[in-house]
Chains A and B, each alone.
Chain A
Amino acid sequence: MLEEKNNLKAWLYLSPALVLLAVFTFYPLFNAFYLVFLKDFNYLLREFDGYTLLGNFSYVVRNPNFKQAMINTFFIVFVSVPVSVMIALFVSVALNSIKKLQGFFQTIYFLPYVTNAIAVGMAFAFIFHQDYGLINTFLGWFNVNPINWVGTGASWGNAMFSLLVYTIWGGLAFKIMIFLSGLQSIDKQYYDAARVDSTPRRRVFTKITVPLLSPMILYIVITSFIGAFKAYATVVGMFGVGLGPAGNPKSMITMVALVYDALEHTGSIGAISEAAAASIILFSITLLFTIIQMWVSKKRVHY
């Protein structure tokens, strides 16, 4: 279909994009693997003291916040992703079953996607306010005493719960959009056949909808996992750069926050290499999980 080869012209058309990608994507990628092996790299003087294989990784692991960052990140990933995928699935199936007002509801459900993570995080922090917040008001109707969710000295569990609610809320819009467009592309014949056989609703859902939607579900699960591993702006939105409730700073720290924490101190020796090590750890974990999911899904996904 495409006639003669046109090498020079093609590379000319590609060059603006490729030059930028080379400088800001590919070089940084390789450079991260270089920086991580420098011993005591002084960023200001560009001097370093030989090479080290695992030294910078051990700096990261020995960082007092590392364990907390791992726990928090895994908590966010393994709670928010399954919960929001389930909710999004039910909502989009319900939305797909109606005709009237479908567009209206779809627009409302899409709103969290077009908002600013910091601004909405602040709103959520106030929703969870101990005295003037909406959650405690609601709980008060059931005679529950006010809970200190995100205020000064709030416990890890309360702060994490609030963060998870915000994370789940923020992730729904995208998932509902993808699921709904997936549902709308399922051939109506399957449902007609089920109706002729008067198959119960639950069976239709588990035997028709979910299998036919499985490629979309896999796509959403993988992108959500990668996204959740990178949680950071949600924490900053809700808790500020202290990354935790007042009096309990860094209690909500995440893996990505480790990278940026190190970058904040570029003046101190080894900080850049430590950031590189943290980013490589993050990358390895997300890669590992993506591979596992692809492998598991090979047997389960119906194409």
Chain B
Amino acid sequence: MENSIKIDKVSRRNKIIAKVFVYFFLVLFAVIILIPFYWMVLTSVKSMQDLTVTPPILFLPFDRWRLDNFQSALNAAPYLIFMRNTVIVSFLSTVGTIFTTIFAAFAFSRLNFKGRDTLFMILLSSMMIPGEMFVITNFITVSDLGWLGSNNVSQTYGDALKALSLPFMTSIFYIFFLRQTFRQIPNELYYAAKVDGTSDFKYLWRIMVPIAKPTIITIIILNAMGTWNAYIWPNLVTDNVNFRLVTNGLRTAYNQLSGQVIYNEQMAAALIVTLPLLIVFFLLKKYIMRGVSRSGIKG
């Protein structure tokens, strides 16, 4: 009896030690994850004097924070224009993606047609092909459509928007993701609607889309985030500084190959670009995290 109590005590103590160790590890790892953000914020508010001190200042009292770095970053490149462009392009590509995805997912989940399984397999297997293979021809295509301008005609804003958004107005991945949700909707609902004489189109928009709303919201957010992070394609199809999106705008603004980089201004600019994304994340955390863990979407 006494012995078993002793063992209980020992095992409880071991358990507590293990718990403390686990929490210590998790906190340490959280610090490692947060360091780059902290360093970005800290650097962006340092004055030139506080920046060029060795060893660097790790904690800066609030009264020495210099917000004018943000002002000079905004003067160095038109970030508000980049953001407007990015918002417009993500709006266009997201609206396109939502419509094409909803219709295609409906056909795959609700309608019976010849070649459905074959088509499904073809789309599924094409998902593993690297996008670099498409970029080459897509570049030729948008240039043939005249959307990049030519030697004597410069690219117009409308053409730039088309070139930036049209190739991203559908996504095989989101079709599958939405199809999974659509398939979970019980067939009885469909038959009931049929008995009432509801058309397929009406059933899709009145019943299926509202039920699948969480998935659709997740697709909207992830798609918009993708535009915010897009670098390669915008870099290829726009030369005019006023047509750039945030990511390539940021990179081109600070692309000295050598010489002195103004780090505090650069970090202020990086923060300007990062902050909207983080705000959206904290507002819509539920949808983003659930979407990523359920669908396994690779960023």
Contacts and interface: CB of A to CB of B under 8 A. Distances in A.
Contacts of A43: 140
B33 A169 contact: yes
Given A43-B140, A172-B33, A119 B263 contact: no
A24 B56 contact: no
B292 A113 contact: yes
A160 to B, nearest CB: 19
Nearest to B43: A126
B116 A230 contact: no
A174 B296 CA distance: 8
Interface in B6-30: 18-19, 22-23, 25-26, 29-30
B247 interface: yes
Interface in A223-271: 223, 226-227, 229-230, 232-233, 236-237, 240-242, 246-247, 249, 256, 259-260, 263, 266
A123 B281 CA distance: 20
Nearest to A106: B289
A226 B130 contact: yes
B231 A236 contact: yes
A219 B225 CA distance: 23
Interface stretch (A8-16, A60-68, A205-213): A8-16
Of B112, B132, B175, which is in contact with the most chain A CB atoms at under 10 Å from its CB?
B132
A177 B114 CA distance: 38
Contacts of A24: 134, 138, 141, 166-167
Given A35-B137, A109-B29, A126-B39, A10 B132 contact: no
Chain B contact residues: helix, strand, loop or mixed: helix
Of A123, A237, A263, which is in contact with the most chain B CB atoms at under 10 Å from its CB?
A123
A260 B135 CA distance: 9
B152 interface: no
A189 interface: no
B35 interface: yes
B298 A114 contact: no
A105 interface: yes
Contacts of A21: 123, 170, 172
A50 B37 CA distance: 54
Nearest to A260: B232
A26 B277 contact: no
Interface stretch (B63-71, B97-105, B153-161, B212-220): B97-105
A10 B231 contact: no
Contacts of B34: 108, 111
Interface in B239-276: 246-248, 250-251, 254-259, 263, 266-267, 270-271, 273-274
Contacts of B281: 110-111, 114
A119 B250 contact: yes
Given A2-B111, A241-B251, A17 B106 contact: no
B298 A120 contact: no
A292 interface: no
A187 interface: no
B51 A14 contact: no
Nearest to B134: A28
Interface in B133-179: 133-141, 166-167, 169-170, 172, 175
A110 B131 CA distance: 25
Nearest to B142: A24
Contacts of B137: 27-28, 31-32, 35
B146 to A, nearest CB: 14
Interface in A179-215: 180-181, 201
Interface in B102-129: 103-104, 106-108, 110-114, 116, 119, 123, 126, 128-129
7 contacts: A16-B170, A18-B104, A28-B134, A114-B281, A123-B37, A137-B56, A260-B236
Interface of A: 1-7, 9-11, 13-14, 16-18, 20-21, 23-29, 31-32, 35, 43, 91, 94-95, 97-98, 101, 105-120, 122-124, 126-127, 129, 131-134, 137, 140, 152, 169, 172, 174, 177-178, 180-181, 201, 219, 223, 226-227, 229-230, 232-233, 236-237, 240-242, 246-247, 249, 256, 259-260, 263, 266, 272, 275-276, 278-280, 282-283, 286-287, 290
Interface of B: 18-19, 22-23, 25-26, 29-30, 32-37, 39-40, 43, 51-56, 58, 96, 99-101, 103-104, 106-108, 110-114, 116, 119, 123, 126, 128-141, 166-167, 169-170, 172, 175, 187, 200, 225, 228-229, 231-232, 236, 246-248, 250-251, 254-259, 263, 266-267, 270-271, 273-274, 277-278, 280-281, 285, 288-289, 292-294, 296, 298-299
Closest 8 CB pairs of A and B: A28-B137, A10-B113, A119-B270, A2-B112, A17-B104, A13-B107, A17-B100, A28-B134
